[in-house]
Amino acid sequence: MMRRKGLVAILDGLLAYTVAFTAIGLVALLSTTAQEANLKTTYTLNVWAEDLADAVGMSLTDGAEDPTRWLDPDSIGDEKEAEIREALTASLGRIEARLGVQIRVEAGADTIYGDRLAGVGESATAKRFLVSSGGSVSVLKVEVGI
């Protein structure tokens, strides 16, 4: 009788261990899968923000001078600047609609495109320096959220 009670106790212990092991394994697998999905989203948004920052930065140049040097929008001229802004608005609007993201672009204190990101779960920001012909520096900021 005592031996049988001992055997049942061992089996109870084995049962408890197995349940605990399985539960912990399930929790670990679920949290790893969720973390991986978040990492991929964050990486993708960062890549998009960096690419758009390069493209917008390159757009704010005087192509006749040096297309690799980013200039302050004030040195481009009002008419040219208006053309560039209109093209940027159309391009960024297309990208927003196609990918289902929100985009905001600021150059210094000036908002070039978009409103404050609202209701986004993840976002990424890329920054570039804009250097004017006079040597003053302002910051170009591109935010992408989803």
Partner 1 sequence: MDMKMRSKSGKRGQVFAIDVLFSILPVMMILGASLQYAYLGEEQMKILSADSQRQGAMQALSEHVMAEYRSSPDGQPYVTAEPDYACGGLKDAIGNAPGMPQGYEYHVRVEMPSSSEEHICLDDELWSHGGTQLLDAYYVGMESSTRLPGASGIRFMLEYDEEGRPIPGQIAGVSFTVWDADPADYAKT
Question: Contact residues for partner 1 (CB under 8 A)?
Answer: 4, 7-8, 11-12, 14-15, 18-19, 21-22, 25-26, 29, 36, 40, 44, 47-48, 51-52, 54-56, 58-61, 63, 67-68, 83-88, 90-92, 94-95, 98-99
Q: How far is the CB of 59 from partner 1 (least distance, A)?
A: 4
Is the Cβ–Cβ distance between 144 and 103 less than 8 Å? yes
Name the burial class of residue 131, with classes exposed (0-12), middle (13-18) and buried (19+) by CB atoms within 10 angstroms of its CB. middle
Residue number, 86 or 110, with CB nearest to partner 1: 86
Q: How far is the CB of 8 from partner 1 (least distance, A)?
A: 5
Residue number, 98 or 116, with CB nearest to partner 1: 98
Which residues lie closer than 8 Å to 97 by C-beta, 6 or more apart?
none
Euclidean distance between CA atoms 105 and 100, whole angstroms: 16
Q: How far is the CB of 119 from partner 1 (least distance, A)?
A: 22
Q: How far is the CB of 133 from partner 1 (least distance, A)?
A: 16
Instruction: List the one residue out of 97, 139, 143, 138 whose CA is nearest residue 120.
Output: 143
Residue number, 28 or 137, with CB nearest to partner 1: 28
Residue number, 21 or 129, with CB nearest to partner 1: 21
Euclidean distance between CA atoms 26 and 49, whole angstroms: 35
Residue number, 92 or 107, with CB nearest to partner 1: 92
Region class of 130: left (phi > 0), else alpha (psi between -120 and 50), else beta: beta
Q: How far is the CB of 79 from partner 1 (least distance, A)?
A: 13
CA atoms within 13 A on the CB side of 85: 17
